[in-house]
Amino acid sequence: MKLSICVCAYNAQDTLARCLDSLCKQKIEKEIIVVNDGSTDQTPLICEEYAKKYDFVHVLHQSNEGVASARNAALKAAQGDYITYVDSDDEAVDQAYEKVMKKAQEGYDIVVYDALRIGQNEAYMKCAKCAQGEMSMEDYFISEPCPWNKIVKKEVWQKSQLMFPKGIIYEDYAVIPNLGRYAQKIWYMEEAVVRYYLTEVSITRGSAYKAKAVDILRASEVLVQHCDLDQLHDACEWMLYDHLLQTSCRYFLSFEKYEECCACADLMNHYFKSFLKNKWVKQCSFKERAIAWLFARKMFKFVHFAIHVKR
């Protein structure tokens, strides 16, 4: 079985070679599809160098259209039985994909795995709430919605007809969870396969406000629209609770972006008014639940107080 490894690169001259070296060393049947998304640095030259050196490296050049467009281009070009993504500033753990593909051969449509988060220190990143083993559709839906922490059978992508929404970030969160609806068997492997590097480019990192953070609203709408709420209501509710009321609202509040906080609250209340009854929300600390409740009711002055209170 062949694995298509998709790498989307934009001005990645400082990290792309490290990424591709780690992928080329993987001793599996593979193709590596590199999409150069209109880079203005040496990225196109690096791409072509690897394509000349390895016959399994294929390069696509396009004008700068954003990561969602690049992901879609790679997806359309992929010829492998399974598809995965690796960001151009990340790398694969040595020989890790051998174990992943071996598990896929047992009949699994999706194999989810963990990562090593590389910042000031290296830390293990668990990408699912469940233990290693077969995943339910719910367990998969609420796992980390990254395209690089799983391999997905090409037939699953084809059945779903899902594509990454162009023009926004959080495009993975908008799409990846719903792929589970089209899979018969999903396995979670508690093993780090990717080294995920934290950078200041990340939307919620750095000291300056990033206006694209508001794309979380559009991404959440796309997630809900493609979800079967009769089957996955609680899982979808948890995802919006976690991404809107916990992560995004805190980010917006730190820059006093109250209008964006209100938009998150409105979206949550439109779909999931009773989120405090959610089984995963109940597992959160009282403080976290209280802050989410205050955000949902737009009581931002009280949130400031609650965040800094120790007891």
**Residue 134 CB neighbour total at 10 angstroms:** 11
**What integer pLDDT is reported at residue 311 of this predicted model?**
46
- pLDDT tens, residue by residue, 20-56: 999 999 999 999 999 999 999 999 999 999 999 999 9
pTM for this prediction: 0.94
**What integer pLDDT is reported at residue 306 of this predicted model?**
76
**Two structure tokens written together for 59:** 């390069």
Give dist(CA 91, CA 49) in Å, integer.
18
Give dist(CA 103, CA 28) in Å, integer.
13
Determine phi and psi for 80, rounding to 5 degrees. Answer: -75, 165
**What integer pLDDT is reported at residue 113 of this predicted model?**
98
Residue matched to tokens 């959080």: 170
SS (H, E, C) the chain: CCEEEEEEECCCCCCHHHHHHHHHCCCCCEEEEEEEECCCCCHHHHHHHHHHHCCCEEEEEECCCCHHHHHHHHHHHCCCCEEEECCCCCEECCCHHHHHHHHHCCCCCEEEEEEEEECCCEEEECCCCCCCEECCHHHHHCCCCCCCCEEEEHHHHHHHCCCCCCCCCCHHHHHHHHHHHHCCCEEEEEEEEEEEECCCCCCCCCCCCCHHHHHHHHHHHHHHHCCCHHHHHHHHHHHHHHHHHHHHHHHHHHCCCHHHHHHHHHHHHHHCCCHHHCCCHHHCCHHHHHHHHHHHCCCHHHHHHHHHCCC
Residue 10 falls in which region: left (phi positive, over 0), alpha (psi -120 to 50) or beta: beta
**Residue 14 CB neighbour total at 10 angstroms:** 12
Mean pLDDT of the chain: 95
Domains in the chain, CATH or no CATH each: 3-197 (3.90.550.10), 211-308 (no CATH)
**What integer pLDDT is reported at residue 205 of this predicted model?**
58
Give dist(CA 286, CA 311) in Å, integer.
10
Give dist(CA 232, CA 249) in Å, integer.
24
Q: How far apart are the first and last CA of the chain?
A: 54
Give dist(CA 76, CA 63) in Å, integer.
17
| Whether 97 contacts 147, CB under 8 Å | no
Q: Across the 311 residues of the chain, what is the mean pLDDT of every consecutive 10-residue run?
A: 98 98 98 98 98 98 97 98 98 96 98 95 95 98 98 98 97 98 98 91 69 97 97 98 97 95 98 97 95 96 75 46
**What integer pLDDT is reported at residue 204 of this predicted model?**
54
- pLDDT tens, residue by residue, 162-210: 999 999 999 999 999 999 999 999 999 999 999 999 876 555 556 789 9
**Two structure tokens written together for 268:** 């949550």
Nearest to 243 by CA among 209, 201, 286, 214: 214
Name residues whose C-beta falls within 8 Å of residue 310's C-beta, 6 or more positions apart in sequence: none
Distance of CA 184 to the CA centre of its chain: 21
